[in-house]
Every structure is written in structure tokens, then in C-alpha cells.
Structure 1
Amino acid sequence: MFTPEIYTARRAALRKKLKSGVILLPGNLDSPINYPANVYDFRQDSNFLYYFGLAQPGFVGVIDVDRDTDCLYADEWTMDDLIWMGPQPTVRERAALAGVGSAGSLQELAATLNSAIKKGRKVHYLPPYRSATKLQLSAWLGIAAERLKDHVSRDLIRAVISMREIKGPEEIAQLEEAALTGYKMHTTAMTMCREGIGERNIAVELERIAGQAGGRLSFRSIVSQHGETLHNLSYDGRLQAGRLLLIDAGAETAMGYASDHTRTIPVSGKFTQKQQEIYDIVLAANAKAQELARPGVTYQSIHLAAMRVIAEGLRALGLMKGDPAEAVKAGAAALFMPHGLGHQMGLDVHDLEELGEKYVGYDDATTRSTLFGLGALRMGKALKAGHVVTDEPGIYFIPALIEKWERERIHTAYIDFAKLHDYFDFGGIRLEDDILITQNGNRLLSRHRAPITVADVEKAMAK
């Protein structure tokens, strides 16, 4: 946890952003795997973490805007709990760690909320994403679970996003710690990559490194020779000479802050000419995004600039044709990169997206496109100092998508489909870094950058 003063200041700032009412922030509960006592590894709700910092299940935070008070609610441990778990701090002792002087039971919470509702006070809550939380909210607020989404507080959503998306110094230090672990994960994978080893062996080692650093994976790693499948979570393959291995993986610190990096490496240790040609285009797009990222510039415009680099590079190879700018505008280049350039990152690897991408990645000035590829961009609005975003361009040769477009004669003015057939077994390449937007530009969120140029990747693999 951070110091109690940090959480106290965050809650005070949140109260000032709302005019009145009661803010209800439930933490997560344990989730059973196959029977009640056998549970998944616990992960606290990130909004609860941000304002209260406690990483234990069963806690609920209430911030009273009108009365300028905070309270934490949870049930005390029973003797049976203590027999199995050993001595535990009381609810009040836990609350003190977050700078909260008032504590109560869940029964008292229900009474508090019931009183507020009877008095006509607004109870602000965020969109719930877990079934157990939905059932709790339904019982406390008297709203059917399927109707909860109709009553979420848009004011609270906007207030939380405005605070959480701008990272403080203490958060940046955590993100840098996560990035360092990510660096160790990717450089280790490069030394492990060789013909015959299983994809699963590398995936397991990545998880071990994240856990040894005191945290966990920030998401389930992608370790695949089928990089053309954007979120390939199958680890059944054995590495084959001549193939490319795409590794998209990140770490989460003990306090919940994430990293997210992607590298694509040649199983043989050396890129073929064909692989290097495509790789260098993706690398140039990655560099273009870093060059342009600064406060006041929309990430949507940076996405389009990176796509322009990709279209120009593929035209030089004869895979695309016509004007690259027009090809991007028409959406033709999205055949090769059907996803967005990046997303926000922080306490979650896709930070704040549970609150709604239209609030997190867009605003009144920047609306989401309906164009294929560009419409998948999660973060499009203007950048601000303190934003942390991923920069992850890619080029993918997806046979089913290519065949569909060819069959339906989509964008034939910009794409040479005949030449693409030679790339059906190519796979895909993605290169991803995490960047912090500063007052004058941006910087990478790591003291060490995992090898990314062709020469540096081949050198790392030679070890």
C-alpha cells in the first residue's frame, strides 16, 4: 500500500468532483474454482484499490459526499476463520491503513444505504463486472441485477476516469517496476527461444518471473507462432525453425500496476529477408508513434500516422498499391492491422475499460470511428501529461480475412491480393512498448528496453 495520506487525498478529491450523495465502492470477493474453499488467486477491484488500497476480499468502501466522511465495511473474522488463517487485523485496523477512521459490518452497511435511499439521497456506483458484486448491489440497492446498468452513475464514472488516468509519481514508480519485470520476462524468452522447445515452456517461465518479482502476470501471456491470431492463448505448439514467435506478455506488481510489452522473434535466431522486411515496417510504425506522442495530440491521429507508415512500407514491397494516405483513409491498410494502436494502462493492463471505452478512450471532441480497424482503437482522445498508453503496431497476414476481401473484391485498388498468397504461412508481427506522456513529449516506462531492432534481437538470442 501507499501511505494513508495518499488514499485520504484521493477520496477528498473525488468528493469535490461530485455535488452530493453517497459513493459506493465495493471490493471484490473470493471466487471459488470448484468448491467454496478452493478459490482463484484473489485480485482486488482496481477502483477500490485506488481509493482504499486494501487487497483483501470482502471490503466495501463508502464515501459520503455531503457529510465529508469515509467508512470501510467488512465482517470481522470468526474463530473458525482464525483457526485456519491465523491472527488477522480487525476491520478497523485495516481501515486505518487507508486513512479511514470509521468502520462497520456489512449489516451496518446495508442499514446505512437503506437510510440514504429512504431520504432520497443519490447512491453513486460504477458498472459492476462480476456476478457476485451484481448480486450484492442488487440486494443493497433494491435494483434487479439486470437493471443495475441503467442506474450507474455517469458522474462518478467521469470523475474516477479523470483522476485515475493521470498517473501520480508514486504510480509511475510502480509502473516502472512492472516494466522492469516485463523486460526480464522478454529477455529471458529470447534466450529460451529455439527449435523444439514448447510454447508452453516459455509461457510457464514468464509466469514464474512475474511471480518471483512479487506480483503476477498482468494478463494471460500470448506465446504463439501463429501471431496472425491476435489473442492466441494456445500453447500447444513446439517451436519450428523458420517460424516467428510472437510474445505479448506483462507483469503486475504486488500493488496491482501493470506492464504490457510485445516482441516478435525468429525461432532460428536470425530473421529471413522476408521476415526482416515486414519487421522493419512495424518497427518504423512503433517509432513514428513515439515520435508524435505528446500532450494535445489525439491518439487517433497517431494511430493513423502509424498506419500510413505501414501502408507506405507495404507499397514499397508491392503488397499494397496506390496512394498510401488514401489507402489508410479508406480502411484498406486495416487488412494488415485490424486493431488499434494502443490503450491506456495503469492499475489494469487495459486501464479503466470496465467503466466503458466511450468514456475512457473518447470524449466530446474525439468520437469513435466506425471504419474497420480504426473502430477497434480503444484510446483515441487527446493525450495529456500523466497518461500511460501502449504503442503496439503490427502487421498480420490472416488467410481467412485476406480470402474474404479478395473474394468480395474489397479495396482491390489498394491491395495486390495475388502477391499476398505467398504470405499465408508468414504469421504476424507486433512490437509493443509502454509510454508515459510527459509535459513536452513522452518516454518509455522502463530503465531497460527489451531488444527491438533486428540486430539487438538477434544478439540477445545468440546468448
Structure 2
Amino acid sequence: MHFRLFAEEVYTQRRKSLMESMQSGILLFLGNEEVGMNYADNTYPFRQDSTFLYYFGIDIPGLAAIIDADAQQTILFGDDISLDGVIWTGPLPTMAYMADQVGISKTASISELAGYLSNKKNIQYLPPYRAVNQIKLSSLLNQPLGKIKENFSLKLIKAVIGQRSFKSALELTEMEAACDISADMHLAAMQYAKPGMKEYEVAAQVRKVAYEQGGALAYPIILTVNGETLHNHYHGNTLAPGHLLLIDAGAENDLHYAGDLTRTFPVSSKYSEQQKDIYNLVIKMMDNAIDALKPGITYKEVHGIAAKTLIGGMLDLGILKGNAEEAFQNDVHTLFFQHGLGHMIGLDVHDMEDLGELHVGYEEGTQKSKAFGWKSLRLARTLQTGMTFTVEPGIYFIPTLIDRWYNERKLEQFINYEELLKYKNFSGVRVEDNYVITDTGARKLGKYLPKYLSEIEAIRES
């Protein structure tokens, strides 16, 4: 078999728990298909749907599955590979064999799925994020395409999130492996990057480490000297002394569990004095947030702790003025820290966000803020034992945003604009690690990757 699986009972127990949670209904899961990059046979790398992997494990295209909570049975739909398929891609085990490996005794051809569903009621499905699956569902369920996006099952969404939010010991082992690879990717970049190189040369080294260890990229690499742009995928700049290089990169291992780490280090061997001040403040934000992690605290509260730490540091640097608590209540920190402190992580780098950010990251009945900065909190819910997530504070000096606030004299009772303008072309700093909530606090996932200033300078000088 071309892919690795957990033991049969892992998948059997997951499906059993889902049936118990749902109690009734035909639960329909579509796997992903291969997608042509620029013509049908030149495909993007195949990536199976994560929820399909969670319940069924089989990592090949062209599958669907039914969990019948009424009949208490599971059916895997797919076809054995044809002779033509064997010629081009090599042999695969039979559908019956693969199904047996994940505890499924009944299989059927994919062509039988429509007939199976034709006389069934209470068919429930998750919101499809790929157009091809939207079209499939429209045909299978005889519903207008526009309705498919509306008629998904909220009950099923909540049941799946209720399971996938809490990682088992087996899953944590896989996440540790992904984080280990991710740490090696970043260490390689710290050791390799030199003035005069292009960003893409360093990105190539980061990617190389992931593939050398049997992994892949969990998401497109962010590697840039323009760290003030939060999701910057351009890699064409030349590294120069005085630049900061921000790298946000993570691996997914062969079971598709993800790591997501960020480091920001000097292209020179040492940080400048101005860079030291901002970098150490980000580290203080991170450490204060980590110290607060425990079951029962909301991640919105932890985000607030990081934001208040930022304000205190900016007051010390003279960039801000006035009362710290009043500055926080007026959202002054959002000039520098526009995104949330972190997000869930697991089989997806932004775990389960295809099921709806509000359902994954927020308590039932709570609403996301619409205010600048706060609206970008992906995770705000109460933390519980077994939840895994990122901690990624940042400070960004975005020239366009600074100009906008300066021209409006926005919050000038708190902002020393004369001092702020000295940082206008600073760029940005972000540092990120992954954590799991334990019974008493939290534990970092994966091997240690240097993050403190003296550690990074020692690597850059070696």
C-alpha cells in the first residue's frame, strides 16, 4: 500500500463515536479528486480531504463513504484500479482489502453511490470547499448547485469538530513528528541564509528538508524580508545586511498532520539595536501568553495578554504614551498586531477551518468582533485538555497603515507619531510554536527550535 494507516480500531472507534453523537441520519463523505494544473493529466499534488482521512484513512482519489447511523454500518464507495491505471501509476490493493484495513466490511462501486442515495432521507454532509465536490453533491442529491452551499448539516459540523478538536496520544505523536521536521526546516534556513542570496534560494533549502524527511509542505512557504506583509509568498528579493528574514513554514508528515513554525532572524550576524527591542518584545508577548495557557482560559484572553504586553513594551520604547489599560481598551495594539494570536492545528494547518471558522474557533452563541484586528482572531474559545493550536505573536510596521493613522491623527493621545515614524520601514517580526493543552497547563510540540535572541545570533555567527 502506498500510504500509512493507524490501526483498524482507531478508525472504527472514530466512526462509532460519530454515530453515537449523530444518533440518526445518512452521513455522506466525499473524498477529494485529482485536479488538473493546466491540463487533466498534469495534476496538482493530490491531497485527501482531512475529515475523510480522519474517519476512513485511505489516501487515494476517487472515493466516497457513507456512515449510516440508523443501520449502524459504513460503506466505502470506490473502484479497483484498472489495467490502464496500473500501467501509468502502478498497482494498488483492492478496495475490499483497503476497506478491511480500516475496519469497513462493505464496499461498492462509486457508480452505485447515486442509486444508494436516491431513496434515502436525512442525508447529511459537510460544507464542500472544492468546486468539483459541490457539483457532485448537486448531482447526487438532486439539488441546485447554489443550495449545496446552504444545505450542509450544522449538526454534523459540530459533531466532527467535537471529535477532531481533541487530539489522541497517537495523533500527538504524529504532530510531534511534523513539528520536528518543521524545526529542522527553520534551523537549516538560519544556518544557510547569507547576504546576497535570493529569498528563493533559502526557500529551496526549507522545502528540501521537508522532502528529505518524507514530509511535504503543510502550506506555501512565507519567506520574506518584507515581514510586515502577513502572508507574503513572493521570494524574489535579495537578502542584504540589515534585513530581517521572516520565515513561516511547516511540514506535514506522511499521515498529513501539520506543523506550523515561524522565526525571524537577521540577515547580518546580529540584530540591530532597534531590531533587538522589537524582537525581544515579541518574545515577551509569546512567553507571557504561553505562561497563561491552561484548561479553562479562553484564547481571546490569552490574545489580550499578548496585546497588553505589546502595549507595555511600546510605552517603554516611547512609541506609545498614556495609560496602558486605556490604550488597550482603545485597541491601540492593532496598529502593530493585526492578526489573532493563533489557530487550531492538526490534520490541517488551520485545523477544520473548512467547516467554518466560527464553529471551530468560537463558543456556540458567541460572535466574532467586527473591529479591526479583533475580527482576525481565528481562535477565541475556551481551551480544553487535548486541544492543539499555534502561539504566534507578531509586531508589524505597515507603512500604508501607519500613514493612514498618522494622516487621521488616530488615537494620537496614545501614539507618539514622531517616534513611530522612525520605525516606518522596520518590516515585521513574528515567532511561532505549536502547543497542546494538558491537564495542568500546556506543552510545546516537537523538538526545541531556538527562539531567544542570543541563541539565534549564535547560530547566525557560526
- Give the letter aligned to residue 265 of structure 2: I
Residue aligning to 2:132 = 132
Q: How many angstroms does 1:409 deviate by?
A: 2.2
Q: How many angstroms does 1:370 deviate by?
A: 2.1
- Give the letter aligned to residue 155 of structure 1: K
Do 1:366 and 1:380's aligned partners in 2 also have CA atoms closer than 8 Å?
no
Q: How many angstroms does 1:46 deviate by?
A: 0.2
| Pairing of 1:31-110 with structure 2 (within 5 A) | 31-110=35-114
Distance, in Å, in 1 between the alignment partners of 2:440 and 2:90 is 51
Residue aligning to 2:449 = 450
Q: Is residue 321 of structure 1 aligned with residue 321 of structure 2?
A: yes
| Pairing of 1:176-187 with structure 2 (within 5 A) | 176-187=176-187
Residue aligning to 1:191 = 191
Do 1:328 and 1:334's aligned partners in 2 also have CA atoms closer than 8 Å?
no
Residue aligning to 2:305 = 305
| Stretch deviating more after TM superposition (325-334 or 43-52) | 325-334
Give the aligned CA root-mean-square deviation in angstroms: 1.0
Secondary structure (helix, strand or coil) at the match of 1:72 reads strand
Residue aligning to 2:143 = 143
Residue aligning to 2:249 = 249
Distance, in Å, in 1 between the alignment partners of 2:114 and 2:73 is 17
Q: How many angstroms does 1:367 deviate by?
A: 3.1
Distance, in Å, in 1 between the alignment partners of 2:245 and 2:90 is 46
Do 1:125 and 1:156's aligned partners in 2 also have CA atoms closer than 8 Å?
yes
Q: Normalising by structure 1, report the TM-score.
A: 0.97
Q: Is residue 8 of structure 1 aligned with residue 12 of structure 2?
A: yes
Do 2:81 and 2:91's aligned partners in 1 also have CA atoms closer than 8 Å?
no
Q: How many angstroms does 1:76 deviate by?
A: 2.5
Distance, in Å, in 2 between the alignment partners of 1:146 and 1:215 is 37
| Pairing of 1:204-283 with structure 2 (within 5 A) | 204-283=204-283
| Pairing of 1:419-434 with structure 2 (within 5 A) | 419-434=419-434
Distance, in Å, in 2 between the alignment partners of 1:103 and 1:364 is 37
- Give the letter aligned to residue 363 of structure 1: E
Distance, in Å, in 1 between the alignment partners of 2:90 and 2:184 is 35
| Pairing of 1:402-417 with structure 2 (within 5 A) | 402-417=402-417
Q: How many angstroms does 1:462 deviate by?
A: 2.0
Secondary structure (helix, strand or coil) at the match of 1:258 reads coil
Distance, in Å, in 1 between the alignment partners of 2:8 and 2:426 is 52
Q: How many angstroms does 1:67 deviate by?
A: 0.2
Secondary structure (helix, strand or coil) at the match of 2:149 reads helix
- Give the letter aligned to residue 345 of structure 2: M
Distance, in Å, in 2 between the alignment partners of 1:268 and 1:205 is 19
- Give the letter aligned to residue 6 of structure 1: V
| Stretch deviating more after TM superposition (301-310 or 102-111) | 102-111
| Pairing of 1:341-360 with structure 2 (within 5 A) | 341-360=341-360
Q: Normalising by structure 2, report the TM-score.
A: 0.98
Q: How many angstroms does 1:106 deviate by?
A: 1.4
Q: What do residues 313-333 of structure 1 show as CA deviations (whole Å, max 9, x unaligned)? A: 011101011112221221111
- Give the letter aligned to residue 197 of structure 1: M
Q: How many angstroms does 1:294 deviate by?
A: 0.7
Distance, in Å, in 2 between the alignment partners of 1:280 and 1:72 is 53
Structure 1 runs not aligned, ≥5 long: none
- Give the letter aligned to residue 86 of structure 1: G
Distance, in Å, in 2 between the alignment partners of 1:89 and 1:115 is 31
Do 2:268 and 2:460's aligned partners in 1 also have CA atoms closer than 8 Å?
no
Structure 2 runs not aligned, ≥5 long: none
Q: How many angstroms does 1:77 deviate by?
A: 2.0
- Give the letter aligned to residue 448 of structure 2: R
Q: How many angstroms does 1:366 deviate by?
A: 4.3
Q: Is residue 17 of structure 1 aligned with residue 21 of structure 2?
A: yes
- Give the letter aligned to residue 372 of structure 2: F
- Give the letter aligned to residue 385 of structure 1: T
Identical amino acids, percent of aligned pairs: 40
Distance, in Å, in 1 between the alignment partners of 2:250 and 2:337 is 21
Q: Is residue 285 of structure 1 aligned with residue 289 of structure 2?
A: no
Distance, in Å, in 2 between the alignment partners of 1:325 and 1:193 is 40
Do 1:194 and 1:269's aligned partners in 2 also have CA atoms closer than 8 Å?
no
- Give the letter aligned to residue 8 of structure 2: P
Q: How many angstroms does 1:99 deviate by?
A: 0.9
- Give the letter aligned to residue 341 of structure 2: L
Q: What do residues 99-125 of structure 1 show as CA deviations (whole Å, max 9, x unaligned)? A: 111000112111111121xxxx21110
Do 2:134 and 2:149's aligned partners in 1 also have CA atoms closer than 8 Å?
no
Q: How many angstroms does 1:209 deviate by?
A: 1.0
Do 2:27 and 2:69's aligned partners in 1 also have CA atoms closer than 8 Å?
yes
- Give the letter aligned to residue 354 of structure 1: D
Do 1:191 and 1:462's aligned partners in 2 also have CA atoms closer than 8 Å?
no
Q: How many angstroms does 1:411 deviate by?
A: 1.3
- Give the letter aligned to residue 177 of structure 1: A
Paired residue total = 458
Secondary structure (helix, strand or coil) at the match of 1:151 reads coil
Distance, in Å, in 2 between the alignment partners of 1:363 and 1:395 is 27
| Pairing of 1:370-389 with structure 2 (within 5 A) | 370-389=370-389
- Give the letter aligned to residue 392 of structure 1: E
